């Protein structure tokens, strides 16, 4: 039976946040932002191990206490310049520890509001899929394409469009192959790399609360969601 693993690429900086501290280490309710992604994945009973791919020379990781998540949590200091490079380097670093048919969930370090129900749903709907899949939400807003002067050039039809989230879950062997044979593209997510091989990943309806912290105001929203969740537990 295939096992489940998680991988968090955390070697980036998050330039759009406008902070001198890498985004994943910004404080949220007294803990670094990445803490919440780690906690959610480590808490799920089906996930065997959670790998965090750090930038070489990262000195901030060890300034925080991760003992509550050992031995399930394993840091890897092999991050790359691009997200896909960090994921590929991480996959190569765990070769031999994970089987070719085992599932790997790649999750954003800056997506702190992932909950156990969404992980259950992803596993239930993708665990027997021949390709893999990802959490996503149908696009609800009207989409405008801008010209060079930020004036509307066109209104794009939104029918059938989804906004990709994470985790994105694929077999170890397929994902490693997809990220190893890219031809002149820099994929923005794992599903795009798998698409280049001709495979169609499954979209699993998610929750808008599983959003990615990108701008400073997003931290406030994350704190509201997480504080409300902690108040219910």
Q: What three-state secondary structure class fits 214?
A: coil
pLDDT for 193-210, tens place per residue? 999 999 999 999 999 999
* Whether residue 59 has pLDDT greater than 80: yes
Which pLDDT does position 138 carry in this prediction?
96
**Alpha-carbon distance 136 to 154, whole Å?**
25
**Alpha-carbon distance 88 to 53, whole Å?**
10
Between 60 and 16, whose confidence is greater?
60
Which pLDDT does position 183 carry in this prediction?
81
**Alpha-carbon distance 59 to 172, whole Å?**
29
* Whether residue 232 has pLDDT greater than 90: no
Query: What are the E-state strand segments in 95-195?
Result: 103-106, 132-138, 143-146, 152-156, 162-171
Mean pLDDT of 19-46: 95
Q: Please report where in the chains the tokens 């923005």 appear, as a residue.
A: 188
Q: What is the pTM of this model?
A: 0.95
Average predicted confidence (pLDDT) for the chain = 95
List the structure tokens of 31. Answer: 């803990």
Which pLDDT does position 39 carry in this prediction?
98
Beta bridge partners of 27: 32
Contact 77/49 with Cβ under 8 angstroms? no
**Alpha-carbon distance 147 to 232, whole Å?**
46
pLDDT for 131-148, tens place per residue? 999 999 999 999 999 999
pLDDT classification of 15: cutoffs 50, 70, 90: low
* Whether residue 233 has pLDDT greater than 60: no
Domains of the chain, earliest start first: 4-232 (3.90.550.10)
* Whether residue 51 has pLDDT greater than 80: yes
List the structure tokens of 166. Answer: 């994470």
């Amino acid at each position: 039976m295939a096992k489940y693993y998680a991988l968090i690429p955390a070697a980036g900086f998050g330039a759009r946040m406008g902070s001198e501290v890498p985004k994943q280490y910004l404080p949220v309710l007294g803990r670094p932002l990445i803490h919440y992604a780690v906690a959610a994945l480590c808490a799920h009973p089906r996930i065997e191990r959670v790998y965090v791919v750090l930038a070489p020379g990262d000195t901030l990781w060890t300034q925080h206490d991760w003992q509550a998540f050992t031995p399930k949590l394993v840091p890897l200091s092999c991050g790359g310049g691009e997200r896909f490079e960090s994921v590929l380097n991480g996959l190569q670093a765990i070769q031999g520890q994970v089987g070719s048919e085992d599932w790997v969930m790649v999750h954003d370090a800056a997506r702190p509001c992932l909950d156990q129900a969404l992980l259950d749903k992803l596993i239930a709907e993708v665990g027997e899929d021949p390709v893999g899949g990802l959490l996503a939400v149908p696009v609800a807003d009207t989409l405008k394409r801008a010209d060079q002067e930020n004036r509307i050039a066109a209104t794009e039809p939104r029918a059938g469009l989804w906004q990709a989230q994470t985790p994105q879950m694929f077999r170890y062997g397929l994902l490693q192959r997809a990220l190893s044979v890219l031809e002149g593209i820099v994929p923005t997510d794992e599903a795009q790399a798998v698409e280049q091989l001709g495979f169609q990943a499954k979209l699993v309806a998610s929750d808008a609360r599983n959003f990615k912290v990108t701008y400073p105001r997003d931290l406030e929203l994350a704190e509201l969601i997480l504080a409300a969740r902690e108040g219910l537990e």
